[in-house]
């Protein structure tokens, strides 16, 4: 961090103070004298945030920041990103939808270099109200329905199969309305079985 501070033009007592602030921010003060090679993946990611935040930029960009982290480190990382976003723009590029759902204000989805969705988080979910359904059925019927409907996910539950379906109206007898999620929106745009 001291080296990165120098690279970013920070010098003397202000650099020392900023490095200490960053170590506290990312909860690495106790590991300040350890070699980075011995850090866990989560610790390395937090160190990366500290390095990026040293010069207090107005925009931070993270690419797949929680990939490979255990659940505890992912939660810690998301909390850190949320705290950073209070006074700056944080762009988070990821396929891990739960990371976005817990911290994002605005959702942008791109496919093949083109923007396919842009909205506030609330509007993204509200747009799907009444369009997400669940249907418990047999494995055989599930296979038949998958060719006819926009099936977002399939879960085996014992001898039954639970389908999550996107449809403007009730897609099949026995289907019940389900609470929409950001994952549903993602699957609508990136499900190869439909044209969205």
Q: Which residues are known to be catalytic? A: 64
- Residue 94 structure tokens: 């990821």
| CA-closest candidate to residue 96, choices 78, 115, 114 | 78
CA distance 29 to 43: 11
Per the CB < 8 A criterion, the answer to whether 81 and 92 are in contact is yes
Most distant pair of Cα atoms in the chain: their distance: 71
CA distance 62 to 26: 15
In degrees and rounded to multiples of 5, residue 8 shows phi and psi of -85, 5
Task: Provide the 3-class DSSP secondary structure of residue 25.
Answer: helix
DSSP 8-state assignment for residue 168: S
CA atoms within 13 A on the CB side of 30: 2
Per the CB < 8 A criterion, the answer to whether 133 and 165 are in contact is yes
């Amino acid at each position: 961090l001291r080296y990165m501070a120098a690279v970013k033009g920070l010098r003397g007592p202000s650099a020392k103070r900023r490095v200490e602030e960053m170590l506290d921010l990312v909860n690495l003060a106790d590991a300040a004298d350890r070699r980075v090679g011995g850090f866990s993946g989560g610790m390395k990611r937090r160190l990366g945030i500290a390095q990026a935040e040293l010069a207090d930029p107005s925009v931070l960009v993270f690419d797949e920041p929680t990939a490979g982290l255990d659940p505890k480190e992912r939660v810690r990382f998301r909390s850190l990103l949320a705290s950073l976003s209070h006074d700056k723009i944080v762009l988070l590029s990821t396929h891990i939808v739960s990371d976005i759902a817990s911290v994002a204000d605005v959702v942008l989805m791109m496919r093949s270099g083109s923007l396919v969705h842009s909205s506030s988080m609330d509007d993204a979910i509200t747009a799907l109200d009444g369009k997400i359904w669940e249907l418990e059925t047999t494995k055989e019927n599930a296979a038949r329905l998958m060719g006819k409907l926009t099936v977002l996910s399939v879960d085996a539950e014992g001898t039954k199969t639970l389908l999550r379906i996107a449809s403007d109206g009730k897609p099949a007898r026995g289907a019940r309305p389900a609470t929409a999620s950001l994952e549903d929106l993602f699957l609508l745009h990136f499900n190869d079985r439909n044209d969205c």
